[in-house]
Structure 1
Amino acid sequence: MSYETTTERGFLLSTREWGVIGGATGLMLLNVFVMYLAAATPLARLNQLLFSVPIVGALVYGALITGGQMVAERGFKNDSMGLAMAGVVVLELAFGAFGGGVLSFLSAGARVPALAIAGAVVVVMTAVIGGYVYLRSGTQFDHYGRWATYAFLGGLGALLVATFVPVVGVAAFALIFLGFLFRLGYEMWQVRESRGRPAMQSVGLYVAVAGVFVHVLQIVVRMLAER
């Protein structure tokens, strides 16, 4: 099946697109700060308790992230800034608690370097995926949204199995990580095609980037902890 269509897009970003990316970047930078703070609070311990049963942790955070984004989008659609901000706060706290829980496995002095390394890796990954989406200006990437959903569902299924067979947890991690990568490509396509309000697109892009970030952060933390 071909996904090729004809569009008149170039590689250079418009002011609108830079605005969307800037909004998502601001939300992500705030989230990194929240993660750093959360690592030294009881939220980190709560995160560890939730993931003592992997599927429980995934379902709780999945519900918070999905619910937070839905509330934020409804707020933007209904011109209710209070509702939109409530959704964003839920997202910031959800990703912040998760990232803080991951960071808590490191000593306080190693947390900033871990965040910096993860941030640098994610910037490169985002640039590569975004560049691919924009360079292929004649291609529609709506199928990335479906592929992301399939990967998330596969990851949840693998996590359920991992509750009883821990080794399957690696496959679950890979599938959910892949889901966020597809989601990132999908959101970049949404920005390219100017689908929806800029504020809504900023939130969608932020969620995708944050999902990639917390997975990269887990890899970085594991590498630093094993040194």
Structure 2
Amino acid sequence: MTAQPYRPAHPRVARAPTTNRLGRRQEAGFSSAMGNLPAMSSFETHESAHESGLSSREVRVIGGASGLMAVTVALMYAFVATPLATVNDYLFGTAPILGVLVYGAAIFVGELIAERGVKGGDMGVAFVGTVLLVFAFAIFGAGVLSFAPPETHLQILGVTVVVTALGTAAISGYVYGRSITFEHWGRFANFAFLGGIVVIAVGSFVLPVLLLVGFVLIFLGFLLRLGYEIWEVRDRRNASVALQTIGVYIAVAGVFVHVLQLVMRYVLSQD
């Protein structure tokens, strides 16, 4: 989430959301076209003990994250016809880095509230945090979608869902197919997020061409984070299902909104 690729002044493709909850026990900040999120620290890693098939815990994590994504996509489609779709224009129109920081703050706070609710056994608090996360991604996505003709909205969302699902499946297959730790992917994701924020900040005021570089870095950060979160689900079998569901959801949603921008640009280029 950097700028507005659909307008010469601010290529929206560079507008990328960022989130950062890359590790459950540590907190370091990062931001992307969505701002700062709690990052991860190092913790003890180990070789994974592969088992054939998915466990019931893994199925619950996948099902929960998929459900949250379904709600998010539905809200994007609903919000595009409301004033919420103009939020991106105000934020990124003022300065791309402002949009990054505002969305990042929303995701950071939402994730923090959700985690505290889960750890404290307060499902009401966890629900509030999760709603904040879903709304942050949905409002951003609606803003992106608003640049396309209404008759193409379902097509764009459908293609984005398919591409994101295929990408997630590819990363999952890679992680599950290798008996090694992927903790370093979390660290690399943090570096990509932080680098993206710095580049977007510079591009917002000096070199607009850097906004695209920032978008690429943040997109890469979400892809790496997705691999990290999948590894956690694979190896951290005693971790909270709710926390892992939130982690996977944030990573997938971050990838989704970036793919959404690319798909929308492609569809518009065909007109």
Question: Scaled by the length of structure 1, what TM-score is found?
Answer: 0.95
Q: 2:226 aligns with which of 179, 184, 187?
A: 184
The answer on 1:166 being equivalent to 2:218 is no
Distance 2:269 2:86 in 1: 21
Match of 2:83 in 1: 42
Describe the shift of the 1:195–1:70 C-alpha distance in structure 2 as closer, same or farther (beyond 3 A): farther
Aligned pairs for 1:77-226 (under 5 A) are 77-136=119-178, 138-163=179-204, 164-193=206-235, 194=237, 196-226=239-269
- Letter of the 1:199 partner, please give it: A
1:6, CA displacement in angstroms?
Answer: 3.3
Cα distance, 1:48 vs. partner? 1.4
Check whether the contact 1:159–1:172 (CA below 8 A) recurs between aligned residues. Answer: yes
- Runs in 1 of length 4+ with deviation above 4 angstroms? none
% identical equivalent positions: 49
Mapped partners of 1:33, 1:202: distance in 2:
19
- Runs (5+) with no aligned partner, structure 2: 1-44
Letter aligned with residue 197 of structure 2: L
* Aligned partner of 2:66 among 25, 30, 33: 25
Gaps of 5+ in 1: none
State the TM-score, normalizing by the size of structure 2.
0.80
Asked if the contact 1:11/1:135 (under 8 Å) is kept, the reply is no
1:193-217 CA distance string (max 9 Å, x none): 1252101111110000000000000
Native 8 Å contact 2:46 2:181 kept in 1: yes
Supply the AA of the counterpart residue of 1:31.
T
Is the 1:11–1:134 Cα contact (8 Å) retained in structure 2? no
Task: Find the aligned partners of 1:165 and 1:6 in 2 and give their Cα distance.
Answer: 44
Give the deviation of 1:187 after TM superposition. 0.6
Root-mean-square deviation (CA), in Å? 1.4
Inter-partner Cα distance in structure 2 for 1:84 and 1:168: 37
Q: Is the 8 A contact 1:184 1:209 kept in 2?
A: yes
- Alignment partner, residue 5 of structure 2: none
Please tell me whether the aligned partners of residues 122 and 212 of structure 1 are also in contact (alpha carbons under 8 angstroms).
Answer: yes
The 3-state SS of whatever aligns with 1:8 is coil
3-state SS, counterpart of residue 27 of structure 1: helix
The residue type equivalent to 2:96 in the other structure is: P
- Structure having the larger proportion of residues in helix: 1
Q: Secondary structure at the match of 2:209?
A: helix
Distance 1:6 1:166 in 2: 44
SS of residue paired to 1:100:
helix
Q: Secondary structure at the match of 1:166?
A: coil
Cα deviation 1:66-99 (Å, max 9, x = unaligned): 2111110110000000110000010011000000
